Structure 1
Amino acid sequence: MTTPLTWLYVPGDRPDTVAKALRTGADVVVVDLEDAVAPDRKEYARDATAELLSDPQPRPVHVRVNALDGPLAADDLRALAHLAGVAGLRLPKVTSPEQILRVARCTPHPLYALLESALGIEHAFAIAGAHPAVHGIALGEADLRADLGVRDDAGLDWPRSRVIVAARAAGLPPPPQSVYPDTRDLAGLAASCAHGRALGFLGRAAVHPRQLPVIERAYLPTEEELARAETIVKAAAAHEGAQALRDGTFIDAAVVTAAHRTLSLAARRG
């Protein structure tokens, strides 16, 4: 699959909505058994999700299980362990590598850890490298805001950067951004995505299909960026080693690697 840029969350107790989500064009559909499901609907959400995902799906489906330190996660993991339609498990509120190790022992699925507390941020690198089953880490910013008492969005930039660095240091892909909660403020979403891209995120989680094209546009290279990458790659192919372009810009191996990454991402345009 091409690099995921959009991850659409859908409540697990609404299987019809999950089926519709699979047709929205989201790169990954995330069926949520945790925050999006009321306590008295948890068992139904688990059973409905297990039934739906017993067969392979037309695109990757991840499932966010309930909190690992709560009473529901063990049943979630058992129900999902060997389903052909599950492409990954998203683990909420992870605070330690030991939690990852316990989950990895009881499921064959790729794991994605969500860091939603100060303790989780402090252990970000240890969590990211805890087990080969960890395929990614990301922030859960709503819970993190509450834990830190952050009142301004800028107050999250340090933990955001911490998680990005931890992921890359552990050899994982750049994390996707956390959800933008106002589903009607598409201009605000675009601006937030531009800021996230500048920090080093790649793609974003969404809670409504209308957010998907905004996220994808924000994270795909612009025409100017694409032209620049093509120029760099052509120059590197013509002359080995560090060099300066005609406009005086210095390029070396790191710049060329970044240009190849841009071209790879641009291939999503079709």
Structure 2
Amino acid sequence: MTGVLRSWLYVPGHRADRVAKALAAGADAVVIDLEDAVPPEQKAAARDNAVRVAADRPADPAGPQLWVRVNDPAGPWGEADLDAVSGTALHGLRLPRSEDPQLVREVADRTGLPLQLLLETATGLARAVDLAAAHPGVAGLGLGEADLAADLRVPSAAGLAWARGWVVVAARSAGLPSPVQSVFTDVADLAGLRASSEQGRDAGFVGRSVLHPRQIPAVHEVYTPTAEQVEAAQAVLRAAAQARTRGEVAVLDAAGRFVDPAVVARARVVLDLAREPGPALPAPPEQPAGGTR
């Protein structure tokens, strides 16, 4: 699976039957969970299942990416998880309760796998910028909203709006992809999922973790640009390309919209989210020595 990943389906690692179903459910990524969804007596079985799936699954560029959420490396099961997954053919790891940049560096070096850091405590949130830049292996940031709300003593999801904005800023300031939205726990409330996902999209998230396959279609719909948005983005790039052939970098397009490099960059984002290629733009005209004013 290439392009921006819209849906990340969690599946309990100790349920081998569910892992197989999850891989065929249509999500862009599957996250085998070794942490919260697995009872203590099943931790070893979940770990073994994850390693087996990573080893046995045939390469399929059109299939979902395969990630694993390990247990807290500082907790009782984390060390065994890291030993087991190191060097496997996983696309990466989700690291819960990320707080310590030095520990992130140690995990990245030890496993050799990309890391998505889950910020689930006040300390992790406060250190988001340092965590994002802790190691080249850090592939993204995200929030674990249920744990974070408990740690911050926030009584409702509305109280985390500022934290969502902050994690978007921290990720982008480090040059990381826009973050993935946390799960919506009321699996039966698809209207609520859709509304919450629209809020996340508008806040700068580009996809969402999900707990059940029935949540995937709504998430994909929200996080995939419409045909009209794609056509508008393509029109922006066409106008920019035509302007550059005339030695210009800013122009009014046929619809009277102002197109400059910032508008072009936003159009590229839309096409990236839509998995649509955009035309290559000619090189910008050279500026006179000393620049312009």
TM-score tier after normalising by the smaller chain length: over 0.9
Match of 2:158? Answer: 154
| SS of equivalent residue, structure 1 residue 53 | helix
Q: Which moved more, 1:237-246 or 1:70-79?
A: 237-246
Question: Hey, what does 2:78 align to over in structure 1?
Answer: 73
Per-residue CA shift, 1:46-104, capped at 9, x if unaligned?
A: 122222222344432111000122021111000111223x1111100101211101112
**Amino acid of the structure 2 residue aligned with 1:14:** R
Q: 1:12/1:149 Cα in 2 relative to 1: closer, same or farther (>3 Å)?
A: same
For residues 268 and 186 of structure 1, what CA distance do their matches in structure 2 show? Answer: 27
2:119 matched to which residue of 1?
Answer: 115
The percentage of counterpart residues that share the same residue type is: 48
Give the aligned partner of residue 7 of structure 1: 8
Displacement of 1:35: 0.2
Farther off after superposition, 203-212 or 217-226:
217-226
Distance 1:44 1:267 in 2: 37
Q: Distance in 2 between matches of 1:71 and 1:267?
A: 41
Alignment equivalent of 1:239, drawn from 240, 243, 246: 243
* 2:225 and 2:274 in contact (8 A); partners too: yes
Q: The residue matched to 2:163 in structure 1 has which SS?
A: helix
Counterpart CA distance in 2 for 1:102 and 1:222 is 42
Corresponding residue for residue 249 of structure 1: 257
Per-residue Cα deviation, 1:135-185 (whole angstroms, up to 9, x for no partner): 111110000110111123221111111111111111110001000001111
Distance 1:42 1:175 in 2: 28
Q: Which shows bigger deviation, 207-216 or 42-51? A: 42-51
Residue 64 of structure 1 corresponds to which residue in structure 2? 69
- In the other structure, the counterpart of 2:218 is 214
Structure 1 position 54 matched with structure 2 position 59: no
Moved more, 240-249 or 27-36: 240-249
- Say whether the 8 Å CA contact 1:2–1:268 is kept in structure 2: no
Rounded Cα–Cα distance in structure 2 between residues aligned with 1:78 and 1:64: 14
Check whether the contact 1:68–1:94 (CA below 8 A) recurs between aligned residues: no
Letter in 1 for 2:137: A
Within 5 Å, give how 1:72-221 maps onto structure 2: 72-84=77-89, 86-221=90-225
The residue type equivalent to 1:72 in the other structure is W
Deviations 1:117-147 (A, max 9, x none): 1111111111111001111111100001101
TM-score by length of 2: 0.87
Q: Which has the larger radius of gyration?
A: 2
Could you tell me which residue of structure 2 aligns to residue 265 of structure 1? 273
Preserved CA contact (<8 Å) 2:4 2:275: no
Q: C-alpha separation between the residues in 1 aligned to 2:123 and 2:222?
A: 31
- 1:11 deviates by 0.2
Q: In structure 2, what residue type is equivalent to 1:101? A: R
Amino acid of the structure 1 residue aligned with 2:208: R
Cα separation, 2, equivalents of 1:97 and 1:144: 18
Q: Deviations over 1:203-237 (max 9, x none)?
A: 10000001111101001112332232122112111
SS at match of 2:238: helix
Match of 2:21 in 1: 20
- Letter of the 1:11 counterpart: P
Q: CA RMSD in A?
A: 1.6
Q: Say if 1:177 and 1:203, in contact at 8 Å, map to a contact too.
A: yes
For structure 2, the residue ranges without an aligned partner over 5 or more in a row are 278-293
Structure 1 gap ranges (5+)? none
Alignment partner of 1:239: what SS? Answer: helix
